[in-house]
Structure 1
Amino acid sequence: MRQAEEAGTWGRRISSAGPPIHQERARQTRQLILSAAAQEFATNGFRSTSLVHVAQRAGITKGAIYHHFTNKENLAASVVEEHYALWPALVAETQDKGMNSLETIVALLERVATVFRDDPLVQASARLQIERSTIGIPLPTPFVGWTELLTELFGAAQRDGYLRPDCSPQAAARVIVAAFFGIQHISDTLHERRDILERWDEVKRLVFPGICALGVRIP
């Protein structure tokens, strides 16, 4: 999809080409730092995370972190960018399964819910976005990429006859984005996202009948 290919929408683009051999160790160290930082930010938040703790978790020196990241703020922003870089491949994999447009929307959001439940990088990014006013540098704007992508997918669903004739794809996208990210935040706050798939299923069963045309089976 066009939206999934735009670095400005989803965050920093990750090249599909591997780094030169002499850069491989640096790449591995950077990923190790990002993974350790994600776990720290997800558990403790921005203010309570220190670079010392990140270094200890990663099993490296604090100086090694500074070789890759200017400061804690830059590291936090990089975690968020890394999170957004996950989505284009996940979107493409879902679209390649040969499902119809409505099935694609439902399957995609279920996969995203699973990623939010299981991936510390995504969990850290979600927490950092909530704390963005305390970080001090700009972070990628949340929700825009998902709203644009779902607008396009709901547009396809409308053309395929799955949406009510009076249902705007843009409005459907805004409602689903609000509902989805609302449940992920509530699920995180109350149950550490253990019940996010159940909460998403409730949204699907209650909201999609108001979006879809009469007689359309909700996947």
Structure 2
Amino acid sequence: MVRVRQERAEATRQAILDGAATAFDSAGFGSTSLTDIVRHAGVTKGALYFHFQSKESLAEALVEEQFLAVNPPSTTVLGVQSLIDRSHQLAEELRVNVRVRAGVRLILERGLLGDADPAAYNEWSEQLREALAFAQGRGDVRPEVNVADVAVYVVGAFTGIQITSHVRTGRADLHDRLADLWRLLLPTIVPARRLHRFDPEGSEELRAGFAAIAD
């Protein structure tokens, strides 16, 4: 019985997070009420307060999930193609995962309201820098390239691209626009003799995985 109660409690918690994500993704933090959240979640306010103290604590939980989507634990992404693939994986999360979308929106809103937390973006930039430094060490990135600057640029470019794609097409063209980014960037950081090794649209394995999920 204890296990059954625990499973039910966890299912309720997940439903609340899904409901909050749907509400935040649709209307933002300021325009979302607890009533909106319980309506989307299909639970009572009592159940919500059992798991989360406030709307703010719900937002924190979703931001943390977004942080993990950008910076997965115990994951080492090394090499140029791995970076390209990881960026497309994150793009797909934004397309299909409402929790990730809500977390991104919440972080952006905080920044606009003067309460920005750069932790997720700083960690992401550092992961990219490490991966690019590894690639540079084996000759896949030009020796004169400042990999720290490129890492910060990619994080900023991805953020802008995904916002623009959201506004223009509901992120339907996000993978295409991300491929454009890599097509423009790769010739400036990769030696010409090695450029053919990298696919801006993602590796064949990555695209096959996306196709399998779609089917």
Matches of 2:145 and 2:112, distance apart in 1: 39
The equivalences for 1:5-154 within 5 A come to: 22-87=5-70, 89=72, 92=75, 95=77, 101-132=79-110, 141-154=119-132
Q: Distance in 2 between matches of 1:80 and 1:118?
A: 17
Cα shift readout 1:152-176 (whole Å, capped 9, x = no counterpart): 1001100110011101221111111
| C-alpha contact 1:91 1:108 (8 A) present in aligned 2 | no
Higher RCO structure (Cα 8 Å, ≥6 apart)? 1
Match of 2:209 in 1: none
Show structure 1 runs of 5+ residues with no match. Answer: 1-19
Find the aligned partners of 2:5 and 2:114 in 1 and give their Cα distance: 34
Deviation at 1:213, TM superposition (A): 1.6
Distance in 1 between the 2:38 and 2:74 partners? 33
Cα deviation, residue 82, structure 1: 1.9
The one-letter code sitting in structure 2 at the alignment partner of 1:146 is W
Q: How many residues are paired up? A: 196
Q: Once the 2 structures are TM-superposed, how far is the Cα of residue 85 of structure 1 from its aligned partner?
A: 2.6
Contact in 2 for aligned 1:164/1:214 (Cα 8 Å): no
Work out whether 1:164 is the aligned partner of 2:147: no
Query: What amino acid maps onto 1:43 in structure 2?
Result: S
Amino acid at match of 2:42: G
User: Which deviates the most, 149-158 or 27-36?
Assistant: 27-36
Q: TM-score with structure 1 length normalisation? A: 0.80
Which residue of the partner structure matches residue 16 of structure 1? none
Secondary structure in 1 aligned to 2:120? coil
Question: Take 2:113 and 2:43, find their aligned partners in 1: how far apart are those partners?
Answer: 24
Return 5+ residue gaps in structure 2 as ranges: 200-215
- Partner of 1:55: helix, strand, or coil? helix
Report percent identity of matched pairs. 35
Q: Which has the higher helix share?
A: 2
Mapped contact 2:15–2:42 kept (Cα < 8 A): no
Q: 1:156 to 1:133 in 2, by over 3 A?
A: closer
Paired residue for 2:203? none
- Residue 116 and residue 91 in structure 1: after superposition, are their counterparts in 2 closer, same or farther (change >3 A)? farther
Runs of 4+ in 1 over 4 A off after TM superposition: 87-91, 133-140
TM-score by length of 2: 0.82
CA distance 1:187–1:208, shift in 2 (3 Å):
same
